[in-house]
Each structure stands twice: as structure tokens, then as C-alpha cells.
Chains A and B, each alone.
Chain A
Amino acid sequence: MATQARDAAIVGIHEYPLRDVEGRVSPLQIKAESAAAALADAGLTWSDVDAIYDAGEGGGMGGLTIAEYFGLKPNVIDTTNVGGSSYEYHAAHAKRDIAAGKARVALLTYGSTAHSNVQRIGAGGRGGGVHPADNMESFTGMTLIANYAMVARRHMSQYGTTSEQLAEISVATRAHAMRNPQAVKAMQDLEFLDIRETTVADVVGSRMVADPLHLLECCMISDGGGAVVIAAPEVARDCAKTPVWILGSGEATKYPENGGDITVSAAAQSAPQAFGEAGVTPAELDIAMIYDSFSITVLALLEDLGFCPKGEGGAWVEGGRLRFDNPAGPALNTDGGGLSSNHPGMRGIFLLIEAARQLRGESTSQVAGARLAVAHGNGGMLGSRHCAGTVILGRD
């Protein structure tokens, strides 16, 4: 541990509390409010920021629009957009830029009104786009959920994984959500029925949306947003909160290939980079913040991150291993995840935020003495083309 580089740390976080803004707040306004709150959390202010990382979801000309909107003139602008994994990329790039001396205080923000806009993220058909891959696929009516469901189907066929095993992921996540007042309010505001802890039987008994995925294996569609402030060590030392160090990162891409294995995600390529740089192994991690668009996403990513061998995830997650109070495994998505707390379309920033909360000791499902966490974002679609961003975080 002593040899780990401490080049940059998360020093400020904010999760926008509302999941249904009823059309009264714009994505840009959510970003700005969250940025101010995260800077205040760090004990910093707007003028300290010299680097902006932005996926461009607020519209306009990416980095230029957001800089003017915030009233900043940053030295570094990075507009990487790789869907829901953008924020893991941003954190990795912020660390790289800070280590290179190009920046001292980096600001990452996210804002979305997907719920208010009635965006059919999951069950919408894809438009007749002009990208060559779209032109080959949009005639099929493959919904986003079906895209992921095809990974689940193949995983079941190839490894014997069951719906009951996949349901364990939904059950553990909901248990954590019920301990998080913000998540409970989210489910109320989004009019979830029967808001309570769930069982495996509840999940497999819920309506089938796209075989073999059931309703309770699918994430919500909320409004929301947040912000993360990342700073150089000399800044972090004087900040208000315990620094959460970025110890390692990895990036990777996956897309359909003739003869390829759909059960293996890009995480299989990004994880060795991240764990290698951090000098830790999955078994040492206390917290697993893993993009839970669907149950199968988490199962495949747990395997690819190296928590268990490929194909053995089903048995591995059984018996509540992922619950925050079960020391046999890492605590999964302790904020309640995209399944039960917050999914406005690109959830990656919340993975960083809740990991930081855990390492500060501020989670509503706190793991005692948590020291190491992984935030893994999967952007795009698991069953076809996606990007992976793995970030390993630790505290002193």
C-alpha cells in the first residue's frame, strides 16, 4: 500500500436529491447546483476549479458551453462521452492531468431530466440511425432491455446461471436502498408499487419484460445528477473532508465480433489495468460500486472484474454475499443502485459518489472500516457495444 501513488483524490461530492423534478429544473441547472454543493463539501469554491470534465449531456458545444455556464475559464477541458461510464473515464483523466501538472482542481458534473422527459431508455425501439451498425440492426426492434437480456440468456446457457441467482443482485440492492432515505423517496416519487425489501421469489415472480429479465431486474428511469471534485494532493490535504485517493484506473471497449463471447464484457480488459496500477486484488476490496442497469450487468461485471472466475458468478452471489453486512464479499451498490435509487441514464457519477461516501464513513449502509472500493462504469450496451471504466479508490 505504501507504494501506491497518491496523485489525486476525490475531495468533494454531491448527489442531486430529487428523482422527479416535474420539469422545473434543467439538466444544466442540476449540474450547476451539484457543482456548487460538491465544491462547498470540499471547502473550495468556483475560482479554485481549473479543469472541467463533461460528457456534454447538457447540450450545446460540450466543454465551451459548460465553462461559460459555470463562469469558469479552465486550463483543461475533457469532453469524453462514453455513456454511463463517462465519469469513470473523467476521474481517470483528471488524475492523469493533475499528475502531469496540468490541473489542480477538477470538476465533474452530471444532470439529466430523463424521467421528466419521459425518455423510454429501456423499452424504446432504436431509431433508424445512419451509423452503419444501426443500419444493420434497427429493423429488428431490439430494445435496450433485450440487448442485455441476450447476455443473460447466453450466460444461462453457457454456465447454467439461473434467474434466482440473478435475482440476488436485485435483492441485495433493494435492501441497501431501503436504508437510504433518498432512495426510498426516489421510489415513492417514481411511483414504485409495494416499496419494501424484496425476496428472490419477488424478483422472479415479477413481470417478464424481455426474457429472461424480469421487471425487478431492470433499473429505474429517474431525473437526477451530481458532481465530483478531484484535487491534487497539496489541495486535498487542506480540504474539509477525508481525501479518497484514485489509486488506479482502466479503460476498454467491446463490440460484437463474429464468433465472440457475449458473456465477457470490456471489464475483462479494463480491470487488470486498474488493479495492476493500484496494486490490489478484488478480494481486498470492501466496496463494489458496479453499474447496475440490469441484474445481468452486475453478474457479468463481477466476473470480469475478477471477484470470481468467469461463469461462476451465479453461485458466487447466492446467500446474500453482496449485502453490506455480509463480510464474505464486497458490499454492492450500497446507495441502492440504479435498480432502486438513481438512474437518469448515465449512472457512472453515482458510483464514484457512493464509493467516496463509504471510504469517508458516510454511507447509509456503511461498511465498518471500509478502505478500498471499485467504481466500475459500463457505458453503451452490455450485449452489443460498450465502454468500460474501472476506477480503484482508497483512503489513507
Chain B
Amino acid sequence: MSESNRTPSRPLPRLDEPDTGEFWRKTKDKVLGYQHCDDCGTIVFYPRRHCTGCLGSNLTWQASAGEGTIYTFSVVRQSYHPFFRSLVPYAVAWIDLDEGPRILSNITGVEDPGTLEVGQRVTLTWEEHDEVCIPLFRPARE
């Protein structure tokens, strides 16, 4: 908000959203968190205050190692959003983290996102902003 230039920027998450704010506050320290229910073992993601597997709310935060697999993806070639239109073509993907959570993110660090493949291994990479870091993924080294 303090920026006076008009360069469009990535829409950033709200840090005060009641359920997911804690996830984003952790990213400041480059921690990709997810919740584990200590009563029933359910992995809760997106983050919530209650367990979706049992009636409890005995959730503890764990940190993902940031390794995962592309479950599916698309290459966006047309967008009307002021920031994303400057980014096309770019890849959006559902990624299955090795610990279980399925997270929506972008795949970066590829010259032609059209060459990505379902099942490809990817690694977490952080995009730094003032109050938050955005978890993006890039193809894992062989």
C-alpha cells in the first residue's frame, strides 16, 4: 500500500483471516505449515480451527519439507487480471506434498510451462514480500 507506483503486483493473502492467517504468518520465516490432528491423525489443509476428521480441535502445526508431485496443472495463456496478464503464460498446479496436503500454487523456473508433466517432482521456492512469503514450486533437480 505504501508503494506509490502503479506496477500491478501479485494479490497477497490476508494475515488476519481467522483460519488461514497463521499459515501465512509462518511463511515470513519460510515455513510451509500444515495441521495434524493429534486425536485422529487427520491432516487438515487448508488450515482450520477444527478437525474435519473427528469432533475435536487438537490440531498441531507441522512443517512440510517442501517436496512434492504435480497432481495436475494448466498453463494460463489469457488473463484479465492486471498482474497475471503480464505473467502469461504461467503454470497453475495442484501439488501433492509428500506429507499429504494438496496445495494450489504456481510452477516457476521453467522456460516453457507447456513442457511440465503430471507426476513431475517439484520443490518449494519462496517469493519474498514485505510481510509474507509466497510458496511457489519449481521442477526438482533429477
Mark A residues whose CB is within 8 Å of B. Answer: 120, 123-125, 127-128, 130, 132-133, 135-143, 145-147, 149-151, 153-154, 157, 207-213, 256-260, 262
**Contacts A137-B104, A262-B94 given; does A132 touch B19 at CB 8 Å:** yes
Which residues of chain B in 36-86 are interfacial with respect to chain A, using CB atoms and an 8 Å cutoff? 43, 45-48, 71-81, 83-84
- Given that A136-B104, A259-B100 are known contacts, is A141 also in contact with B76, CB under 8 Å in the complex? yes
Contacts A141-B87, A157-B118 given; does A258 touch B79 at CB 8 Å: no
Contacts of B73 in A (CB 8 A): 150, 153
Contact B72 A151 (CB under 8 A): yes
In Å, the complex CA distance between A137 and B23 comes to 12
A-B contact pairs, 23 of them (CB 8 A): A125-B11, A125-B79, A132-B17, A132-B48, A136-B23, A137-B104, A139-B10, A140-B104, A140-B105, A141-B90, A141-B106, A142-B104, A143-B78, A143-B79, A150-B73, A150-B94, A210-B74, A210-B78, A211-B74, A258-B45, A258-B101, A259-B102, A262-B72
Interface status of B125 (Cβ within 8 A of chain A): no
Evaluate contact between B81 and A125: CB separation under 8 angstroms: yes
Asked if A133 and B79 sit within 8 Å, CB to CB, the answer is no
Q: Which residues of A contact B105 (CB under 8 A)?
A: 140
| Assembly CA distance A79 to B92 (angstroms) | 34
| Residues of chain B having any CB pair with chain A under 8 Å | 10-14, 17-21, 23-24, 43, 45-48, 71-81, 83-84, 87, 90, 92-94, 96, 100-106, 114, 117-119, 134
* Cβ–Cβ contact A262 & B78, under 8 A: no
From known contacts A132-B48, A153-B72, infer whether A125 and B80 are also in contact, taking CB-CB under 8 Å: yes
- On whether the beta carbons of A154 and B78 are closer than 8 Å, the reply is no
CA distance A150 to B47 in the complex (A): 23
CA distance A41 to B28 in the complex (A): 62
Q: CB-CB < 8 A to B48: which residues of A? A: 132
Distance to closest chain A CB from B120 (angstroms)? 11
Q: Which of A130, A140, A211 has the most CB of B within 10 A?
A: A140
- Contact present for A133 and B96 (CB under 8 Å): no
Residues of chain A within 8 A of B75, CB atoms compared? 208, 210-211
In whole angstroms, what is the CA distance A209 to B10 when docked? 21
* Interface pair A136/B46, CB less than 8 Å apart: yes
Q: Which of B14, B45, B71, B83 contacts A141 (CB 8 A)?
A: B83
**Closest A residue by C-beta to B18:** A132
Chain B residues contacting A146 (CB-CB under 8 Å) are 74, 76, 92
What would 12 more interface pairs be, CB under 8 Å, given A123-B78, A150-B94, A262-B72? A123-B79, A128-B11, A128-B13, A130-B14, A136-B13, A136-B46, A138-B13, A140-B92, A149-B74, A150-B92, A154-B118, A256-B104
- Of B48, B76, B119, the most chain A CB neighbours within 10 A belong to B76
Structural contact, A139 and B72, CB atoms closer than 8 A:
no
> How many whole Å from A250's CB to the nearest CB in chain B?
23
Q: A135-B20, A142-B92, A151-B72 are in contact. Are A124 and B14 (CB under 8 A)?
A: no
